[in-house]
Amino acid sequence: MTRVERWERKSEIPLLLLAVAFLVAYAWPVLDPQLDPDLVTTLNVASWTVWLAFAIDFAVRMILADDRWPYARSHWYDVALIALPMLRPLRLLRLLALARILNRSVTSSLVGRVGTYVFGASVMASVLGALAMLDAEKDAEGANIQTFGDALWWAAATVTTVGYGDRYPTTPTGRMIGVVLMIVGIATVGAVTASIATWMVSQVQRDRDRSS
């Protein structure tokens, strides 16, 4: 095990807890615009503190890495999420590490594992996308996504690639969030299709081996 892997194993749970704290700090003001200004300030400080913790984590991993630039290139998403504050809600995708824990208790089949990851990714992408969309659209003129219920409905329709069109973003930021969620939805459908196809091929091969 490399030094980076040892660090990642030790820091995974603390970073996971920090990600949950960031979710609360980010979502609370979005869901309740009438919050006390002092509380909003405290939540903003908390969210930037979490951002700093993730930046320190990445700096430590860079120091521990044997080949730093190749490591940075292979973890370009961490670089982007740290360098671009506008993308900081996406750091909550680290919560997908929970899928590793769930994976220990599900069936050992390929479909079971992929199903767990896909379900977790879809739910998190929908909730986080809804929060980000509501944050971007709620005060925009002419926006039709004004409540968390509207945003969650839009996110679910988008990530499942249904796209009813009754709710849609009107701001540039909202449309960018929509593009990201569309990509997640396409990737989700692709993952499910690929896993089922792989499982079917393995079953056919297994039947052939038994009959031969």
Q: Could you tell me the sign of the dihedral formed by the alpha carbons of 79, 85, 90, 92, in that order?
A: positive
For 141-188, write each residue's pLDDT tens digit: 888 998 999 999 999 888 888 878 889 999 888 898 888 888 888 877
Q: Specify the pLDDT at position 101.
A: 42
Helices and strands in the chain, H and E counts? 8, 0
Assign 39 a pLDDT band (cuts: 50, 70, 90). very high
Whether the predicted pLDDT of 115 surpasses 90: no
User: Is the model's pLDDT at 99 over the cut of 80?
Assistant: no
User: 13-41 burial, b if ≥16 CB within 10 A, otherwise e?
Assistant: eebbebbebbbebbbebbeeeeeeeeeee
Contact 50, 22 (CB under 8 A): yes
Task: Say if residue 132's pLDDT is above 90.
Answer: no
Q: Output the pLDDT for position 149.
A: 92
32: left (phi > 0), else alpha (psi -120 to 50), else beta? beta
d(CA 115, CA 127): 18
Coarse DSSP helix, strand, coil percentages of the chain, rounded to the nearest 5 percent: 80, 0, 20
Q: What are the pLDDT digits (tens) for 45-83?
A: 988 888 888 889 889 999 998 888 888 888 887 777 777
Query: How high is the mean pLDDT of the chain?
Result: 79
Topology, domain 106-212: Helix Hairpins (1.10.287)
Residues 6+ apart with CB under 8 A from 148: 30, 31, 130, 131, 134
In the structure, what pLDDT confidence band is assigned to residue 44 with cuts at 50, 70 and 90? confident
Residue bearing the bigger pLDDT, 6 or 202: 6
Please tell me the distance from the alpha carbon of residue 160 to that of residue 82, in angstroms, as a whole number.
28
Domain boundaries, the chain: 1-91, 106-212
Name the DSSP class of 108. S
